[in-house]
Amino acid sequence: MKNNLWCGRIVHRKTHCTQILRIMRLTVFFLLFIILETYALNGYSQNQKVSMNKGTATLAEIIRQIEKQTDYLFIYNEREVSLKRKVSIFTQNGTVASLLLDALKGTEFSYTMEGKHIILTKKQAEALSPVQHKKRITGLVKEYSGEAIVGCNVSVKGTTIGTITDINGKYSLEVPDNATLVFSFLGYKSMEYPVKAQQTINVTLGEDSKALNEVVVVGYGTQRKALVTNAISSFKPSESNMRPVLTPSELLQGRVAGVTVSTGSGNLGSSERMSIRGAASLSASNEPLYVVDGIPILNSNASLFNMGEDLSSMAVLNLTDIESIEVLKDAASAAIYGSRATNGVVVITTKSGKEGRSDIRLNVSTGISKFANKGRIKYADSDLYVETYNDGVERYNRQNGYTVGSAGYVVPISNPFQGLPDTDWLDLITQVGHSYNVDLSFSGGSKKTKFYVGANYNYQEGIIKTNDITKINLKAKISHEMTSWLEVGANVSGNYLKNNRVPGANIGSTIVARAVEQRPFDRPYKPNGDYYLGGTDELARHNPLQILNEEVSYIDTYRYLGTFNADLKYKKFSLKNSVSTDIGYTYDYVYYNENHPYGAGGGRIVEYNRLVKNLLIENVFNYNDKFGDFEAGLMLGHSFQKMSTRTSSIDGRGFPSPVFDTVGTASEIYNASGGISEFAMESYFGRINLSYLDRYILNVTMRSDGSSRFAPSDRYGYFPSVSLGWNVSKESFWKFPQTDLKFRLSYGKTGNQDGIGNYAWQPLMSGGINYGNNSGMAVTSMGNNKLTWETADQYDFGFDLGFWNGKLNMIADIYLKNTNNLLYSMPLHGTSGFTSITSNIGSMRNYGVEFSINGHLNIGKVNWTSSFNISHNKNKLTKLLGDDLLPIGSNRALKVGEELGTFYLFQMDGLYQYDGEVPQPLYDLGVRAGDVKYHDADNNGIINDNDRVLTGSSNPDFFGGWNNTFKYKGFQLDVFFTYMYGNDVYAEWAVTATRPGYRMAITEDVAKNRWTAPGSSDKYPRAVNTLCGHNSKNSTRFLEDGSFIRLRSLTFSYTFPQVMLQKICLKGLRLYVQGDNLLLFSKYSGWDPEVSKNMDPQYFGVDLYGVPPSRSVNFGINLSF
């Protein structure tokens, strides 16, 4: 094995690696045993014996024999040490020291021993004049992170005197008086340091951005970071910041300013909500556009059969293949994607092979997960429940004058299992989930050919029984330079995901709700093993174990992504031609056994199929040149995309036996349907970049999109942008040499067409409208040929500020986004024959501020790196269907001047303490002392919709994340928090859980602190057996503060020094333990404030017993060869 890095080329040569295959078969513990034993050895003394059978040999042969027969490794500068030089050997069987002394006698080379390393250097004496005074200088060279730089070149300016730093970054050098030391290393800024009277000189080298050629991925290309004038944030997944999540957006939680990511449920594969700078649409999509290696990805709901929650189609991708994620937040960066960029763009770049580097990487991890924050909701035990329930029964009978034996009398209950433990219903349906992940990749390349091959197997069990995911990914990426002017490439991946879903969510409520709402003394099974049945006197809800055991529900997803490209290059011109495909097939299967509530009559099977084919053909021309102090770039492109979707479904019922669980054995085909939908778009786009001395920067883009989703008269949209940059720190008046400051200003127009139907502008006909024995079709939706794009005008101003050569960096942006022509389903009069029509009817505004800061600091031997971001976004509807309030759903409304996500509720004003306080109309309806008192806006004694008020919002006042990394030698601790403040959550689960006297379970707090007499409570109403509707209205009683701080991830790892690994031919070895979602700090009374039963921003923030994100602990090992 040979790794060259000299200033880098430090040469570590080790020849015999025959043990690799054996080592890969060993267990992790045996591998650790070998490493620790190797580390414990201290046989690196100069007395180790070496045998040589030759009288003369080259230095390369001597080095090879010493490394073969001992544990020594050589470090030297290839430019100074000639390996082909032959030397005489007088000691053929002696110590390492005696052999080296003989071999180097009479040469200009010398050696030193540092531990198990032998460093070869040129002798220095010849460079010094005998009359010069000499002194020895020692020191340490490190980078800003605190890591020692091994092999840094330390030389005396203007002479041939020099050395390199050892394995600990230390050096020692004899120099003449008044010398100047030059420190240089590849990728870092060189530094000159006058010696003067010092004897110890420690230096810290800063990164050289020019040497590193730091670039940022932008739409259809890359750009030097110094020339970026847009609001673009980058995130690079690494071993230390990866989490056990399934989608790319979850990796961005709390990492990027201006971006919120929330999971609606902790069930595996559930859809997440990602918002960049706030919601910008009503009916169209609020999701950003995902672009994976240049392919715009369809991020549709992976669930075809409505099971109560959406599933993410991005979960099928392999996250370990990702090299970087760029988030294009402002219009100037996103406008190059035109009509799909209003909600921002997420550009995902996968890993590629690197020239001159061969890597084999193996990552293995396993973990366990559990239901998080279970104790936050405490339910009343059987005794307290029975007491509370019977209190409600007694009040009901007394209020209505019912006595024992009279009609309407409600009989009190007792615990039928008195003396036996209560049933922990939540425990019956949950489990400790186990996960296993194996990821293997090969990468490398030469000057002409580069490749990357990756494979991944991922298995995860959910915290709800029967829920698990199996994912398999294969990827290959290769590029080859055919000639000096032609390079071809292929990038393909095959992905498979099987999701055994949580069943039962389509039967009125979630499986969790069916469990926790059962009475504490109820049992799942009768003594004979049969199920107690829900919806009867036996159980209030469907038996959750009956649902879990008698239903099979899974989704198979297959997804192929492929791009083939040919790049033509001539001088400063290039033309990239590519053909890409995104093909996805989904099979959704649900089986209800005959013992299932939906399987009565012999069972039922529902099957859905969907095939999506997405073809993309693009041609992109680039020209880049320099004209004196000016640097210019031109990009022109053409794109054609066509997408087709074919669906089918079948519903079969009545099977001879559970063994025959295919739809072909059904006695009745209840329903069968299918459809096809197509969409095409043609685009032209371009960009001009111009900079003067990297000081003044201008970027202009334009895109034209033509979409088949709109009528021919409104088919084309035009989306321009312009941005300016001023690198103030490059001005002659700038007097702060280690500080960089750049101002950015941009404007752009983007569009939105996703989320509406492919044929929304045309009337649609559907089949299945049969008469007699004849099939028929009918118009089922009205088209709108005036339909056009949603458009957004966006303005952004920001600055980038860096101190101490990048040791501390700050980025701030302020933005304004006005969205016009909002697509919305406008209600129609019933006489039209239709209920609604999609139209452009409104406008919306988003404005906000983003700030992020990152830096690193050395505290003794500990290196601390920290990054923090905070964002504020305000949303407001500026135009709708007039100024009238428009109620939507059961607890929301839209109104001009209000923000999307505003709640529309009755205002709770405490409880009636005396019957005399109750208005007569309500008293006549049975309202009494102890019931909820609502604000009567019109003071008419009646509580109806006219008394509802707009109050609270699911949108936070501010949000962000804070990550800290602490390094000490090979140890590393990563602590990552996310937070949100000012958002409200509607706790819909509490509608039943805080209803004392009702048939379902109630919380302990409500049972103990309910109203019993005047003055006893002003929060929880009295127990009452019926008339629960009044106390359970959609009101502020259930609206809670959803602010939180979450310890999102905690990782502790140890990376073994490469010095230790060379013996067993490893490049790297890292062990880690990672905890996810370990702590939650929140006043919210539910399990988790981030869950929501609906991910639409109009309805987001309603918790109906959503499964919270699981709490997990994971153990892993990262190996590289």
Q: What is the DSSP letter of 207?
A: B
User: Picking from 572-576, 656-660, 935-939, which range would have the lowest pLDDT averaged per residue?
Assistant: 656-660
CA–CA gap between residue 305 and residue 293 (Å, rounded) = 30
Predicted pLDDT of residue 47 = 53
CA–CA gap between residue 43 and residue 40 (Å, rounded) = 9
CA–CA gap between residue 579 and residue 295 (Å, rounded) = 10
At residue 92 the predicted structure's pLDDT band, cuts being 50, 70 and 90, is low
Mean pLDDT of the chain: 87
- Residue 18: pLDDT above 50? no
- The total of other beta-carbon atoms located within 10 Å of residue 306's CB is 10
- The total of other beta-carbon atoms located within 10 Å of residue 113's CB is 15
Percent of the chain with pLDDT over 90: 58
- Residue 777: pLDDT above 90? no
At residue 208 the predicted structure's pLDDT band, cuts being 50, 70 and 90, is low
Helix or strand holding residue 797 (H, E):
strand 790-803
Predicted pLDDT of residue 186 = 66
Backbone angles phi, psi at 768, to 5 degrees: 85, 5
Predicted pLDDT of residue 927 = 94
Predicted pLDDT of residue 361 = 95
At residue 115 the predicted structure's pLDDT band, cuts being 50, 70 and 90, is low
pLDDT tens for residues 37-63? 333 333 344 456 777 766 778 888 888
Q: What is the DSSP letter of 115?
A: T
Average pLDDT of the segment spanning 291-297? 92
- Residue 17: pLDDT above 70? no
At residue 426 the predicted structure's pLDDT band, cuts being 50, 70 and 90, is very high
User: Picking from 566-570, 601-605, 901-905, which range would have the lowest pLDDT averaged per residue?
Assistant: 601-605
Pairing relationship of beta strands 836-859 and 2-6 according to DSSP bridges: unpaired
Pairing relationship of beta strands 345-350 and 289-292 according to DSSP bridges: parallel
Predicted pLDDT of residue 28 = 34
CATH code reported for the domain at 212-352: 2.170.130.10
- Residue 1025: pLDDT above 50? yes
User: Picking from 412-416, 751-755, 774-778, which range would have the lowest pLDDT averaged per residue?
Assistant: 774-778
Cα atoms in the 13 Å half-sphere on the side-chain side of 245: 26
Average pLDDT of the segment spanning 765-784? 74
Backbone angles phi, psi at 1031, to 5 degrees: -75, -10
Which residues on neighbouring strands pair with residue 580, listed in sequence order?
563, 616
Q: What is the DSSP letter of 859?
A: E
More confident residue, 1042 or 1092: 1042
At residue 520 the predicted structure's pLDDT band, cuts being 50, 70 and 90, is very high
- Residue 633: pLDDT above 90? yes
- The total of other beta-carbon atoms located within 10 Å of residue 1086's CB is 23
Say if residue 584 is preceded by a cis peptide, omega within 30 of 0. no
Non-local CB neighbours of 1037 within 8 Å, separated by 6+ positions: 908, 932, 994
- Residue 592: pLDDT above 80? yes
Sheet holding 191-194, edge to edge: 162-164, 153-156, 180-184, 191-194
Predicted pLDDT of residue 797 = 98
Which parts of 80-190 fold into alpha helices (H)? 96-104
CA–CA gap between residue 295 and residue 286 (Å, rounded) = 19
Please give the structure tokens belonging to residue 986.
């509607």
Predicted pLDDT of residue 188 = 75
At residue 852 the predicted structure's pLDDT band, cuts being 50, 70 and 90, is very high
- The total of other beta-carbon atoms located within 10 Å of residue 512's CB is 29
CA–CA gap between residue 1088 and residue 101 (Å, rounded) = 71
Pairing relationship of beta strands 93-95 and 170-176 according to DSSP bridges: unpaired
User: Which residues in 81-202 belong to E strands, given as ranges?
Assistant: 86-88, 93-95, 109-114, 117-122, 134-143, 153-156, 162-164, 170-176, 180-184, 191-194
- Residue 124: pLDDT above 70? no
With beta carbons less than 8 A apart as the criterion, state whether 650 and 590 touch.
no
Predicted pLDDT of residue 24 = 35
- Residue 700: pLDDT above 90? yes
pLDDT tens for residues 854-883? 998 888 889 999 999 999 999 999 998 777
Sheet holding 134-143, edge to edge: 170-176, 134-143, 203-205
Average pLDDT of the segment spanning 213-227? 84
DSSP string, 875-940: EEEEESSSSS-EEETTTEEE-TTS-TTEEEEE-EEEE--SGGGS-HHHHHTT--TTSEEEP-TT-S
CA–CA gap between residue 845 and residue 874 (Å, rounded) = 8
Non-local CB neighbours of 867 within 8 Å, separated by 6+ positions: 852, 853, 854, 962, 963
- Give the start-to-end residue ranges of the domains of the chain: 2-209, 212-352, 387-426, 427-901+954-995+1032-1112
Q: What is the DSSP letter of 372?
A: T
At residue 518 the predicted structure's pLDDT band, cuts being 50, 70 and 90, is very high
Max mean pLDDT among 615-624, 728-737, 819-828 falls in: 615-624
At residue 291 the predicted structure's pLDDT band, cuts being 50, 70 and 90, is very high
The torsion of the CA quartet 60, 63, 65, 71, rounded to 10 degrees, works out to -150
Of 643, 700, 677, the residue nearest 340 (C-alpha): 643
Looking at residue 355, its amino acid is E
pLDDT tens for residues 359-374? 899 999 999 999 999 9
Predicted pLDDT of residue 104 = 76
Helix or strand holding residue 816 (H, E):
strand 808-827
With beta carbons less than 8 A apart as the criterion, state whether 972 and 872 touch.
no
CATH tag for 2-209 (out of 2.60.40.1220, 2.60.40.1120, 1.10.10.10, 3.40.1160.10): 2.60.40.1120
Average pLDDT of the segment spanning 830-855? 88
CA–CA gap between residue 66 and residue 100 (Å, rounded) = 10
- Residue 491: pLDDT above 70? yes
3-state secondary structure of 836: strand
Q: With 0-12 CB in 10 A as exposed, 13-18 as middle and 19+ as buried, what is 130?
A: exposed
CA–CA gap between residue 158 and residue 160 (Å, rounded) = 7
Looking at residue 148, its amino acid is A
Predicted pLDDT of residue 319 = 94
Q: pTM of the entire structure?
A: 0.82
Which residues on neighbouring strands pair with residue 824, listed in sequence order?
839
At residue 213 the predicted structure's pLDDT band, cuts being 50, 70 and 90, is low
Pairing relationship of beta strands 908-911 and 932-934 according to DSSP bridges: antiparallel
Average pLDDT of the segment spanning 162-174? 84
Displacement of CA 396 from its chain's centroid (Å): 52
Burial 437-475 (b: 16+ CB within 10 A, else e): bebbbbbbbeeeebbbebbbebbbbbbbbbbbbbbbbeb
With beta carbons less than 8 A apart as the criterion, state whether 692 and 345 touch.
no
pLDDT tens for residues 703-719? 999 999 888 888 899 99
Which parts of 206-330 fold into alpha helices (H)? 209-212, 248-251
Average pLDDT of the segment spanning 790-800? 95
The arrangement of secondary structure in 427-901+954-995+1032-1112, i.e. its CATH architecture, is Beta Barrel (2.40)
CA–CA gap between residue 1041 and residue 1047 (Å, rounded) = 19
Predicted pLDDT of residue 772 = 66
Find tokens 């199920």 and name the residue: 531
Pairing relationship of beta strands 902-906 and 1039-1041 according to DSSP bridges: unpaired
At residue 145 the predicted structure's pLDDT band, cuts being 50, 70 and 90, is low
User: Picking from 10-14, 628-632, 1085-1089, which range would have the lowest pLDDT averaged per residue?
Assistant: 10-14
Q: What is the DSSP letter of 542?
A: -
